[in-house]
């Protein structure tokens, strides 16, 4: 969970001129009728990452045309943003960025597409990649808790101490969740579980520890469950509305795309 330079690098596939071999899941049911908008959000985030890298490496802010001349991938993403804006009947990608609040979450993209005199960054609004990192960390915490609960139900106790350590590590390093009470609860009987699983003839945890693990995982789920909604509700209500358009509008857009 701890941030490191490796996690903040631009993925190599974003810089390739050839079409990416990374499979896209944007057309799957997760996004429903908002697939076109989700695609716009993803492309904006990718372009933002490339532009941040360009500024960091060059030490200056070149024009968008200059960046695109150096980076075919940036040109490809820019063209995709223009196409999405046109399909959604917006005059420009910038107007969509501003409407959806993505201008605050992808400030480099907004800066290059908009006026150089406008400050698009708002420190109170997490960058889009930061929000995704938080959601990924929350997902990891929930998944480990779910695995532990399933292990207790199935009598798979051998690696319980290891998974409890993962659970604690995830809780401690998730800045948004920092909860001393929850961290203390995970620590409460960790040594007891560790000692029990290290016994030479270990097969099962005693019932009291099994119940403690179940209760601890339930507390983690209770703490984690509201977090994704709170994360987006606090700073991205407009983005949520943007990604959940009226069905009638999307049906009309899909029909017009099919005809074309």
pLDDT tens per residue, range 19-52: 444 444 444 434 444 577 888 888 998 999 899 8
How far is 93 from 51, CA to CA, in rounded Å? 15
How far is 188 from 219, CA to CA, in rounded Å? 13
The domain ranges of the chain are: 10-125, 129-232
Degrees, nearest 5: CA angle 46-52-57 = 130
How far is 160 from 153, CA to CA, in rounded Å? 12
pLDDT of residue 245: 63
pLDDT of residue 259: 44
Task: Provide the CB-side half-sphere exposure for 38 (13 A, CA).
Answer: 14
101: nearest Cα among 125, 117, 83, 77: 125
How far is 79 from 33, CA to CA, in rounded Å? 22
Degrees, nearest 5: CA angle 26-47-127 = 85
User: Which structure tokens are listed for 242?
Assistant: 């943007």
pLDDT of residue 204: 93
Instruction: State which residues of the chain have pLDDT below 70.
Output: 1-34, 60-61, 175-178, 228-237, 240, 245-260
- The pLDDT tens digits for 177-193 are 567 888 888 999 999 99
Query: How would CATH label the architecture of 129-232?
Result: Up-down Bundle (1.20)
pLDDT of residue 253: 45
User: Which structure tokens are listed for 153?
Assistant: 């139900």
The answer to whether residues 159 and 196 touch, using CB atoms and an 8 Å cutoff, is no
How far is 170 from 40, CA to CA, in rounded Å? 31
DSSP state of 72: H
């Amino acid at each position: 969970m701890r941030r490191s330079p490796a996690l903040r690098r631009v993925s190599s596939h974003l810089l390739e001129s050839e079409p990416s071999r990374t499979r896209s899941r944007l057309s799957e049911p997760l996004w429903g009728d908002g697939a076109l908008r989700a695609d716009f959000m993803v492309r904006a985030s990718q372009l933002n990452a490339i532009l941040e890298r360009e500024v960091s490496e060059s030490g200056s802010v070149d024009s968008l045309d200059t960046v695109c001349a150096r980076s075919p991938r940036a040109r490809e993403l820019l063209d995709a943003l223009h196409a999405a804006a046109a399909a959604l009947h917006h005059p420009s990608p910038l107007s969509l960025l501003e409407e959806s609040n993505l201008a605050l979450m992808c400030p480099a993209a907004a800066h290059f597409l908009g006026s150089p005199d406008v400050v698009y960054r708002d420190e109170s609004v997490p960058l889009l990649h930061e929000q995704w990192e938080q959601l990924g960390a929350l997902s990891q915490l929930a998944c480990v808790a779910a695995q532990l609960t399933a292990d207790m139900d199935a009598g798979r106790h051998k690696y319980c101490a290891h998974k409890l350590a993962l659970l604690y590590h995830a809780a401690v390093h998730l800045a948004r969740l920092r909860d001393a009470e929850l961290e203390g609860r995970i620590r409460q009987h960790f040594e007891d579980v560790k000692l029990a699983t290290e016994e030479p003839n270990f097969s099962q945890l005693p019932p009291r520890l099994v119940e403690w693990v179940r209760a601890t995982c339930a507390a983690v789920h209770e703490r984690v469950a509201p977090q994704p909604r709170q994360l987006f509700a606090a700073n991205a209500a407009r983005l949520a509305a943007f990604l959940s358009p009226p069905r009638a509008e999307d049906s009309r857009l899909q029909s017009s795309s099919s005809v074309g």
